[in-house]
């Protein structure tokens, strides 16, 4: 029964993926393709955040730091060495390793403590990376940033679109497999009742650190893709705004669902696009963080399951199946 419904949803996801794969050959405009590519990239980023917030109940306020690590590593490698495929592979490897080390250190330091510590420490660490990117001018050229070349075959907007889409699909199914594995079940157990999970004999800290490392790696990879599509880097990749965006995507889309963050990424990116177009209509649209912040507060209070979560709980009300993420928020 479960297997059947699962393969049905898998079919739907694959169908959507195929449609998206054909899409760039119909919508050939560069700016449209670019925007959808951004959605894919932020969807990957938001899914990595969902692993922490949605599945394990860990709040990070510095997720931009991993995104920025991926972004700057790629940019610096592409700038310093020739823009070859080999250099890109090395850059990806370094970005992933660097993110893994940082997330491991932050995780080991704070995940044994109450959840507030992780939120605070990630906020502070992200601030540190932002300052470092501004001050270490010889490496990052500070706030101005720099442009760089990417490997020849990735310069076409359709190619980068398809590469991002393929990465999104692979990472989505990979993470889905992970969350449905025994490992993922333990993560959900930690979210629902940490003391009980401990008393059942699980080494909770190991699980939490491991999931934060996985999340950091995926976020860093999203940063790599972001750079390949943008070909320009500056300190804004480390800004709090990036963290806020990914928080919103995850929460509005639906925590603990993986599909939700993808939907959220699409919504937020489209909203960004739409609101920046409205900036000359009324000044309030220049202060879009107010709108976002208000929506965010209202969603947290009244709508903690997000879009996908709410729809799922409505659908399953009739049947016996229960939504596991009642408490998440």
When the beta carbons of 119 and 163 are compared against another protein, the nearer one is 119
When the beta carbons of 167 and 248 are compared against another protein, the nearer one is 248
What region, left, alpha or beta, does residue 274 occupy, with left being phi > 0 and alpha being psi -120 to 50 degrees? alpha
Task: Look at the alpha carbons of 303, 245, 23, 17 in this order and tell me if their dihedral is positive or negative.
Answer: negative
When the beta carbons of 13 and 296 are compared against another protein, the nearer one is 296
When the beta carbons of 166 and 290 are compared against another protein, the nearer one is 290
Q: How many angstroms from the chain centroid is the CA of residue 250?
A: 8
How many whole angstroms separate alpha carbon 255 and alpha carbon 264?
A: 10
When the beta carbons of 207 and 221 are compared against another protein, the nearer one is 207
How many whole angstroms separate alpha carbon 164 and alpha carbon 157?
A: 11
Residue 236 Cβ vs another protein, minimum distance, rounded to whole Å: 14
Residue 121 Cβ vs another protein, minimum distance, rounded to whole Å: 8
How many whole angstroms separate alpha carbon 145 and alpha carbon 233?
A: 5
When the beta carbons of 83 and 132 are compared against another protein, the nearer one is 132
Residue 179 Cβ vs another protein, minimum distance, rounded to whole Å: 18
Residue 119 Cβ vs another protein, minimum distance, rounded to whole Å: 5
Ramachandran angles phi, psi of 225, nearest 5°: -60, -40
Tell the burial category of 272 from Cβ atoms under 10 Å away from its Cβ (0-12, 13-18, 19+): middle
Q: Which parts of this chain interact with another protein (CB under 8 A)?
A: 53, 57, 59, 61, 109-110, 112-117, 119-121, 123-125, 127-128, 131-132, 135-136, 240, 244, 247, 251, 284, 287, 289-290, 292-294, 296-297, 300-301, 304, 327-329
Residue 310 Cβ vs another protein, minimum distance, rounded to whole Å: 16
Task: Give the DSSP H/E element, type plus range, for residue 232.
Answer: strand 232-233
Do residues 261 and 50 lie in contact, with contact meaning Cβ atoms separated by under 8 Å?
yes
How many whole angstroms separate alpha carbon 281 and alpha carbon 154?
A: 37
Residue 239 Cβ vs another protein, minimum distance, rounded to whole Å: 10
When the beta carbons of 121 and 217 are compared against another protein, the nearer one is 121
Residue 68 Cβ vs another protein, minimum distance, rounded to whole Å: 16
Counting Cα atoms < 13 Å in the Cβ hemisphere of 287 gives 6
């Amino acid at each position: 029964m479960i297997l059947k419904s699962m393969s049905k949803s898998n079919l739907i996801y694959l169908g959507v993926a195929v449609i998206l794969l054909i899409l760039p050959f119909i919508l050939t405009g560069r700016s449209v393709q670019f925007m959808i590519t951004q959605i894919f990239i932020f969807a990957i980023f938001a899914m990595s955040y969902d692993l922490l917030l949605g599945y394990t109940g860990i709040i990070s306020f510095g997720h931009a730091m991993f995104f920025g690590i991926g972004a700057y590593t790629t940019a610096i490698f592409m700038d310093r060495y020739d823009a070859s495929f080999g250099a890109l592979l090395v850059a990806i490897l370094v970005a992933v390793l660097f993110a893994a080390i940082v997330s491991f250190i932050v995780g080991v330091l704070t995940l044994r403590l109450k959840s507030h510590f992780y939120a605070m420490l990630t906020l502070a660490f992200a601030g540190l990376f932002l300052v470092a990117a501004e001050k270490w001018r010889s490496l990052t050229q500070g706030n101005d940033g720099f442009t760089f070349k990417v490997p020849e075959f990735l310069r076409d907007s359709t190619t980068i679109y398809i590469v991002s889409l393929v990465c999104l699909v692979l990472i989505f199914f990979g993470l889905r497999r992970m969350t449905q594995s025994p490992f993922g079940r333990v993560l959900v157990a930690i979210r629902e009742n940490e003391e009980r999970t401990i008393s059942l004999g699980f080494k909770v800290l190991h699980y939490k650190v491991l999931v934060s490392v996985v999340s950091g790696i995926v976020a860093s990879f999203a940063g790599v893709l972001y750079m390949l599509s943008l070909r320009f880097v500056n300190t804004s990749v480390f800004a709090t705004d990036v963290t806020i965006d990914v928080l919103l995507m995850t929460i509005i889309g639906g925590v603990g669902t993986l599909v939700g963050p993808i939907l959220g990424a699409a919504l937020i990116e489209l909203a960004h696009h739409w609101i920046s177009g409205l900036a000359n209509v009324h000044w309030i649209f220049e202060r879009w963080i107010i709108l976002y912040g208000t929506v965010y507060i209202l969603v947290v209070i009244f709508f903690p399951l997000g879009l996908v979560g709410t729809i799922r709980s409505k659908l399953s009300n009739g049947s016996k199946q229960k939504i596991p993420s009642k408490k998440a928020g």
